[in-house]
Chains A and B, each alone.
Chain A
Amino acid sequence: AQTVTQSQPEMSVQEAETVTLSCTYDTSESNYYLFWYKQPPSRQMILVIRQEAYKQQNATENRFSVNFQKAAKSFSLKISDSQLGDTAMYFCALIVTNAGKSTFGDGTTLTVKP
């Protein structure tokens, strides 16, 4: 069985500052993908960033980057220059590539304060 744990239920950050959201996971598989999704109050699930487990280089997407530590099974999300529109719930997710079963963490509610 695979698990995803987000240990920070809520976080807040001042506008323009940097914040890091934590995620740890467990799987016995070697080939998998990791994702961060954003869910604003509209409830829509929006992909933030994606990481392939076989790639050592950390993924980046504009102000969003990850710190992927495969041996430690850690996958944190760093948001730089936080904006009010970043206020949302953030979910870490894992999908094993040869099985199709995905697992989500319970989420971190991020509030960006003006």
Chain B
Amino acid sequence: NAGVTQTPKFQVLKTGQSMTLQCAQDMNHEYMSWYRQDPGMGLRLIHYSVGAGITDQGEVPNGYNVSRSTTEDFPLRLLSAAPSQTSVYFCASAPPGVMIADTQYFGPGTRLTVL
């Protein structure tokens, strides 16, 4: 199993550009999520999904869109990049069970810089 994979590892954008961060998992997890981690801080939830076709907002959703057309993939789209979106982005997935989400397994992260 590759686990949770994220591409790209690094990205530099100019203000106003758009892009998609890719996330995929091969563990058949229903739950997937996106976080951002700013320097010296913890992870803040951007969006999450409890299954294909179902997404919901987290703590900091503004400026980001997600979709979940398959169980495996959960891309994060930056609509019009701003310097405030400079951060490290983590994708995670969690196995199904009697609850919506249990232990989350994280991808390696994408370091995004917006100039």
Q: Which residues of A contact B (CB under 8 A)?
A: 4, 6, 31, 33, 35, 37, 43-45, 47, 50, 91, 93, 95, 97-107
In contact, A50 and B103 (Cβ under 8 angstroms): yes
Q: Is the CB of A44 within 8 A of B106?
A: yes
Also in contact, A43 and B108, with CB within 8 A (given A100-B101, A101-B48, A107-B42) = yes
Q: B74 at the A/B interface (Cβ < 8 Å)?
A: no
- With A31-B99, A97-B101, A101-B58 as given contacts, are A106 and B41 in contact (CB-CB < 8 Å)? yes
Over the window 78-115 of chain B, the binary record of Cβ atoms lying under 8 Å from chain A Cβ atoms (1 yes, 0 no) is: 00000000001010100000011111111011000000
Point out the residues of chain A lying under 8 angstroms from B90, CB to CB: 45
Tell me, rounded to whole Å, the shortest Cβ–Cβ distance linking B11 to chain A. 15
Partner of A91, one of B40, B42, B59, B100: B42
CB distance from A77 to the nearest CB of B (A): 15
- Measured CB to CB, the closest approach of chain A to B35, in angstroms, equals 8
Q: How many Å lie between the Cα of A107 and that of B40 in the bound state?
A: 8
> Which B30-80 residues have a C-beta within 8 angstroms of A?
31, 33, 35, 40-45, 48, 50, 56, 58-59
B44 near A97: Cβ-Cβ < 8 Å: no
**Hey, which chain B residues are within 8 Å of A97, CB to CB?**
99-102
